Structure formats: C-alpha cells, structure tokens
A and B are shown apart, each in its own frame.
Chain A
C-alpha cells in the first residue's frame, strides 16, 4: 500500500547548526510533497512544499530536495533557532487523492 517512511524520529541539534530530515515514498504516482510543522497542542502547518516537476526549492532557511527516481525527498533547515523546535511531518499526495504522512520527526534545537 501507500506509505511514507521518515527518519530520524528524533533529532537534537545545537542552535545555529543545520538539521536534515529524510523521507521515502512508495507511490510512484505521487506528485506533490508538503512538509508540515506541528507545535504542541496545535494542528500541523505547512512550511514548504515541492511539486514533482522540480528538484529543489528554497525559502529563507528552509529548503526541500526531491529525487523522483529514488523516491526520496528531504527537508533542510539551516541556522537553526530554538523556535524551530517542533514535530515535522513529511507527506506525499498520492495517486488516490489523499495525503500520506510520515511518522514525524521531533526536532529539538538546543540553545
């Protein structure tokens, strides 16, 4: 079935360092890959997304890369700050018209 694997499940970095979260999807018909940030007690919020017709997208300190051949996509956060601490979810929009989410990465940025 459709699934998205996400690694690591937890990640601790020092403030100012970079953080990388990786995802692998199974449905080759997937064409849209959003990343969501979820803070405690809140719903997930989109932070960046990428479509299948591009390989990389950047927005200030956040970037996402996509390798369609390998079915891999990654989130890169540079110059991490304490407010980046949250749970991050990757997702793929599948050929069956629903978002399939990874299991989440709890990021802790240590001051």
Chain B
C-alpha cells in the first residue's frame, strides 16, 4: 500500500481481555514506532524497532504491553488484561531509515476499554 496501514480502526473490548493491534508499515521502511495518544493529549512514545536491532521498549507503560515486529515488516502491539486507562488512540509510524527523516503515521486504532 501507499501508506502506513493500521487495523482495526476501532476496537471496543471488555476490561480484562487481551487485544492485538496491527501495523503494516510502508514497504522498505526499516524504522517502526508505536505511540499512544490519550484524549486531547500529545503523543506518548511506546516502542521503537530499527531493522534487526533490539527494540527500544523504554516507553511501554507496564508489562501488560508488548510488541513484535516479524520479518522486519508487520508489527503487532499486544495489551494483556486491558484496563480502562488503556483507552486511547494507538498510532504507528514508519520511517525509511533511522533519524533525520520524516516519520509517516497511520490513521491509528481507537481502543475503548469498557
């Protein structure tokens, strides 16, 4: 595809359930980022993948959050035992290389925990 694709667009889940959010980056982009945007707030860094290097997980808020990037392409963000405070828009971005260049964002997944 032409841009970063995220699925689903919207997800409503019950408290305590696990959810998986998917990101398809732009083909050939080696860097991939996940951010969280709470209502009316800025973008909170979660995790960063660059090529085959170990990911930077320093932004993950708790051990309920994890992410994988398979084959250097598609990434999945998993939230276990969801809580109401996890409700937010989760944004994925990819970049053709590390640094000094634009990050292209997907449209986001709006997660609502009820």
Contacts and interface: CB of A to CB of B under 8 A. Distances in A.
A binds B: yes
A44 B41 contact: no
Interface string A35-55: 010000111111001010000
B103 A103 contact: no
Nearest to A31: B100
Tell me whether chain B's interface is mostly helix, strand or loop, or mixed: loop
B33 A43 contact: no
A98 B59 CA distance: 10
Contacts of A101: 35, 42-43, 45
A100 interface: yes
Interface in A31-84: 31-32, 34, 36, 41-46, 49, 51
Given A98-B56, A101-B42, A102-B42, 15 more contacts: A43-B107, A44-B43, A44-B105, A45-B105, A46-B103, A89-B43, A91-B43, A97-B50, A97-B98, A97-B99, A98-B33, A98-B45, A99-B93, A101-B35, A104-B41
